[in-house]
Structure 1
Amino acid sequence: MPGRILRRLIVHEARLRWPIPAELPDRVGGAEVLACGRRGKYLLIRFAQGTQIVHLGMSGSLRRVPMDEPLRKHDHVEWLFDEARFLLHDPRRFGAVLWHPAEAGPLEAHPLLAGLGIEPFDPAFTPGHLHAGLRGRRQSIKQLLLGGRIVVGVGNIYASESLFLAGIDPRLPGERLSRPRSARLHAAILQTLGQALESGGSTLRDYVNAQGAPGAYFTLHAAVYERAGQPCPRCAAPIRRIVQGQRATYFCPGCQKR
Structure 2
Amino acid sequence: MPELPEVETVRRGLAPVMEGRRILAAEARRPDLRWPLPERMAERLTGQVVTALRRRSKYILADLSGGETLIIHLGMSGRMLISTERMAPGGFHHVHPAPEKHDHVVLEMEGGARITFNDARRFGAMDLAPTAAVEAHKLLAGLGPEPLGNAFDAPWLAARLAGRRMPMKAALLDQRLIAGLGNIYVCESLWRAGVAPERPAGSVAPDRLERLVAAIRTVLEEAIAAGGSSLRDYRQADGDLGYFQHSFAVYGREGQPCRTPGCIGTVSRIVQSGRSSFFCPTCQI
TM category, shorter: over 0.9
- Matched residues in 1 for 2:118 and 2:163: separation? 41
Query: Aligned residue for 1:158?
Result: 185
Does residue 53 of structure 1 match 2:81?
no
Instruction: After TM superposition, give the deviation of residue 157 of structure 1 in Å.
Output: 0.9
Identity %: 44
TM-score by length of 1: 0.93
Q: Which amino acid aligns with 2:98?
A: P
In structure 2, which of residues 14, 31, 35 is the aligned counterpart of residue 14 of structure 1? Answer: 31
Does residue 81 of structure 1 match 2:109?
yes
Describe the SS at the equivalent of 1:31.
coil
- Matched residues in 1 for 2:54 and 2:225: separation? 20
Query: Aligned residue for 1:32?
Result: 49
Higher relative contact order (CA 8 A, sep 6+): 2
Contact 1:206 1:214 in 2 (8 A): no
Specify every segment of 5 or more residues in structure 2 that has no aligned partner in the other structure, as ranges: 1-17, 86-95
- Matched residues in 2 for 1:154 and 1:46: separation? 24
Instruction: After TM superposition, give the deviation of residue 20 of structure 1 in Å.
Output: 0.7
Query: Aligned residue for 1:137?
Result: 164
Describe the SS at the equivalent of 2:80.
strand
In structure 2, which of residues 148, 151, 157 is the aligned counterpart of residue 124 of structure 1? Answer: 151
- Matched residues in 2 for 1:194 and 1:241: separation? 25
- Matched residues in 1 for 2:280 and 2:98: separation? 48
Bigger mean CA deviation after superposition, 16-25 or 87-96: 16-25
In structure 1, which of residues 55, 59, 64 is the aligned counterpart of residue 82 of structure 2? Answer: 64
Query: Aligned residue for 2:91?
Result: none
Describe the SS at the equivalent of 1:243.
strand
Name the count of aligned residue pairs. Answer: 254
1:195-226 CA-partner distances (Å, limit 9, x unpaired):
2122221142332111112222x221111111
Contact 1:59 1:204 in 2 (8 A): no
Describe the SS at the equivalent of 1:34.
strand
- Matched residues in 1 for 2:52 and 2:227: separation? 24
Specify every segment of 5 or more residues in structure 1 that has no aligned partner in the other structure, as ranges: none
- Matched residues in 1 for 2:249 and 2:269: separation? 13
Contact 1:13 1:76 in 2 (8 A): yes
Question: Which of structure 1's runs of 4+ aligned residues deviate more than 6 A?
Answer: none
- Matched residues in 2 for 1:107 and 1:232: separation? 43
Instruction: After TM superposition, give the deviation of residue 236 of structure 1 in Å.
Output: 2.4
Describe the SS at the equivalent of 2:157.
helix
